[in-house]
Structure 1
Amino acid sequence: MANAASGMAVHDDCKLKFLELKKRNFRFITFKIQDQQVVVDKVGNPEESYEDFTASLPDNECRYAVYDFDFTTNENCQKSKIFFIAWAPDISKVRNKMVYASSKDRFKRELDGIQVELQATDPSEMSLDIVKARAL
């Protein structure tokens, strides 16, 4: 397990699953902090949609997530970008939000290949339109 500067460990499985996502074996991965370490929460199959991904996030708890977003550029080229999303709903507990916020940068550094970062406190801040705009 990697040791995080914030005191938060990162389970090795997080990096292994992320490498699989980069090979297109998964569409998304959500991570949660449990027992002072970041662990894999859920994984999404390659055929799952962005709506499936957003539905997998809890309404009242923070999560980190990575999403492999496929899109077509203005020049009609197929591309994909890996998004890192820090999900911190307004109704989650203050302590929960603080723990996730203080560990985010260290955890993100463990995942080599993140191209875009989003922070969201409600679903409208990570709508498909916002993701598309950030990808281009």
Structure 2
Amino acid sequence: MLCFLPLDVSKLKSKSFYKVANAASGMAVHDDCKLKFMELKAKRTFRTIVYKIEDKQVIVEKLGEPEQSYDDFAASLPADDCRYCIYDFDFVTAENCQKSKIFFIAWSPDTAKVRDKMIYASSKDRFKRELDGIQVELQATDPTEMGLDVFKSRTN
């Protein structure tokens, strides 16, 4: 038997309600995360940005130079820990135009701890909202789910 309790709507408008809900659903985001993303987006200063959660905060872990290859980026991801990644993917269209798309990758390998997977999954949407300009999102649990062929197929 289901039992429904009445909802006190007045609590929904209080700021303390939102603080608790926000604290339960995500992590704080260090200002450097947004700054480095804006540099990548505007100046193409980096090819990749790898973020990690540390001490209940998302921070920049690694920056990849513009010359960094995709293989170097993929090899730099930990095999047993989750990360958020930005990859600036350059490609040529069917009309022979040089283009670029910014990919957000939620890297969550099968070998990662369940608790870490849950923390990254529950914080992902909030973190993505902080980075204005993401064009494509990928969820990857192993390298084949984020291969170059996957990137190419998602550029259409």
TM range (shorter): over 0.9
Check the 8 A contact 2:26/2:124 in 1, yes or no: no
Which amino acid in structure 2 is aligned with residue 61 of structure 1? Answer: D
| Matched position secondary structure for 1:135 | coil
CA distance in 1, matches of 2:38, 2:26: 24
2:87 to 67, 83, 108: 67
C-alpha distance in 2 between matches for 1:7 and 1:96: 12
Secondary structure, counterpart of 1:15 in structure 2: helix
Choose the corresponding residue for 1:102, options 111, 114, 122: 122
Out of 28, 32, 38, the position equivalent to 1:19 is 38
Report what 2:67 is aligned to: 47
Q: Does 1:114 align with 2:134?
A: yes
Give structure 1 stretches of 5+ with no counterpart: none
TM-score by length of 1: 0.95
Distance, in Å, in 2 between the alignment partners of 1:7 and 1:47 is: 33
**Structure 1 or 2: more helix by fraction:** 2
| Cα deviation, residue 7, structure 1 | 4.1
Q: How many Å separate the matches in 1 of 2:123 and 2:62?
A: 19
Which has the larger Rg?
2
Deviations 1:33-66 (A, max 9, x none): 0000000010000011111111111000000000
Aligned to 1:79: 99
Deviations 1:9-38 (A, max 9, x none): 000000001011111000000000000000
| One-letter amino acid matched to 1:112 | D
C-alpha RMSD of the superposition: 1.3
After the TM superposition, which parts of structure 1 deviate over 4 Å for at least 4 consecutive aligned residues? none
> Matches of 1:57 and 1:21 in 2, distance apart?
19
Whole-angstrom CA distance in 2 between matches of 1:130 and 1:35: 33
Q: Aligned equivalents of 1:129 and 1:51: distance in 2?
A: 13
